[in-house]
Amino acid sequence: MSELYQLGVAEAAEGIRGGALSAVELMEALLARCAALEDSLKVWVTLDGDAALAAARARDRELATEGARGALHGVPVGIKDIYYTRGVLTTCGSPIFAEFVPDYDATGVALLKRAGAIIMGKTVTTEFACGDPAPTVSPWNAAHTPGGSSSGSAVGAAVGMFPASLGSQTGGSIVRPSAYNGVVGLKPTFGRVSRQGVYPVAESLDTMGPITRGVADAALMLDALAGHDISDTDSSRQPVADYSRAATSSAKPPRIGMVTQFFMEQCDDETREHTENVVELLRKAGAVVSEVSLPTNFDEVLLAQRTLMAVEGAQVHERNFALRPDDYSPNVRGVVEQGLATPALTYLKAKRLQRDFRRAAHAALHGYDTLLMPSTPAPAPPSRETTGDPKFQSPWTFGGFPEITLPSGLSASGMPLGIQLVAAHFDEVGLLAAAAWCERAMSIDMGMPPIC
């Protein structure tokens, strides 16, 4: 490990706790990294270096006097700019919120602070976490999209501006930008992580989760984030587990159900061949891989996910959209307008399909630790006019299933490729154990992207 900015969450936390490293040293290294790269990559909406350094100094003092707050003591994190942060601008990527400074922290932010993490600042989100491209630049190739909507959180993690960040997913907004940028993105089960204090996209889909460069780091973040929150009506009372232990214990080779249906049909040839090679590698390493199929029409599922997002999104934006229609970019506008025009029966049918798909995917998972498929139909497309296609992630968000993307290699054009694992509701332990096993078996070193 040559540079401090390359330290992961666990390494950084251990270094600080053990005295090998101070929170201030680490923060200085990361701020230097940000200073060097921000002009070209546009990761940040708000980055206050002085405040971050002051917080790092405070953490170092606390460690010396009271000891570590928790497993993330001194670890700097980036926060997607739809999470409310007390006293810190929260724009939601919209001119309507250009000057909005919340007076409280989102539960996710508060939990990270409680575990000792330091909030460096707020990362770029697409407008209201929808599909209008944000200014963030892909460090792999500036002509390609970095993905969205957690664009800054994914790119910042990829280039070592921070070891971890928070994203959110309504369709594919954690997993897709993570896959496009060669990092690990974890979308937990719907209801596993509180959404209190996060500006909503769609109430029956929105899920909060971390972006990191490794599976064990994602698990450490989930340890801090998971749990019931009485302020979030959809927050689950399912007991939490020791996710970090699940990701670091030596697990048996996983039983993998490979979903060829839809996912291997609708990806490009290179992605298909790559995924087949990955599966072959995993099989040789000892994984048991079988094909599974679902009695599901995935195109209907995607339409239903879009219906929920549109209707529930329109509910969120109805008032502002009526007052300030010109402050909405085309993609969000399209979401809201579709939602306003949707009949109740169409919405009810989508909700019913959501229940049916949950059952079907759980049935498909029977006998498997995880389902596997490519994370995206293709690497990040060579366009800044799109954030890419969420169709490989949206079904799992629609069904509420936990999923994770792992970097699995590079395309011929030098863009990251990823595989996606999916597990049963609230089986983040199984998901992370399988993901950690696959990560070790693949033993991919993505290295740092070219533009950094």
Residue number, 312 or 439, with CB nearest to a second copy: 312
Choose among 51, 149, 119: nearest CA to 388: 149
**Can residue 1 be called a binding residue for a second copy (CB under 8 A)?**
no
Piece of 30-38, 92-100, 189-197, 311-319 that binds a second copy (CB under 8 A) = 311-319
Answer for which of 304, 311, 364, 432 binds a second copy (CB under 8 A) is: 311
Piece of 20-28, 127-135, 296-304, 335-343 that binds a second copy (CB under 8 A) = 335-343
**Can residue 340 be called a binding residue for a second copy (CB under 8 A)?**
yes
**Can residue 440 be called a binding residue for a second copy (CB under 8 A)?**
no
168's CB contacts (< 8 A; 6+ apart) are 80, 82, 83, 129, 149, 150, 174, 195, 198, 201, 206, 207, 208, 209
Stated as kind and residue range, the H or E segment containing 205 is: none
**Can residue 312 be called a binding residue for a second copy (CB under 8 A)?**
yes
Answer for which of 324, 355, 362, 440 binds a second copy (CB under 8 A) is: 355
Beta pairing, strands 207-212 & 164-169? antiparallel
Beta pairing, strands 184-187 & 370-374? unpaired
CB of 341 to a second copy, least distance (A): 8
Total chain residues near a second copy (CB under 8 A): 19
Q: Is the Cα torsion angle 64, 85, 200, 329 positive or negative in sign?
A: negative
**Can residue 346 be called a binding residue for a second copy (CB under 8 A)?**
yes
CB of 334 to a second copy, least distance (A): 16
**Can residue 447 be called a binding residue for a second copy (CB under 8 A)?**
no
CB of 326 to a second copy, least distance (A): 21
Stated as kind and residue range, the H or E segment containing 362 is: helix 344-365
Choose among 394, 392, 397: nearest CA to 379: 392
Identify the burial level of 134 via C-beta atoms within 10 angstroms of its C-beta, where 0-12 means exposed, 13-18 middle and 19 or more buried. buried
User: Per-residue contact track with a second copy, 200 to 239, x per CB under 8 A?
Assistant: ---------------------------------x------
Please state, in angstroms and rounded to a whole number, the distance separating the CA atoms of residues 206 and 149: 12
Strand-pair partners of 167: 209
Alpha-helical (H) ranges within 19-150 are: 23-41, 49-65, 107-114
Residue number, 355 or 440, with CB nearest to a second copy: 355
Residue number, 233 or 277, with CB nearest to a second copy: 233
CB of 308 to a second copy, least distance (A): 10
Active site residues: 80, 149, 173
Instruction: Catalog residues that contact a second copy under the rule CB under 8 A.
Output: 233, 307, 311-312, 314-315, 318, 339-349, 355
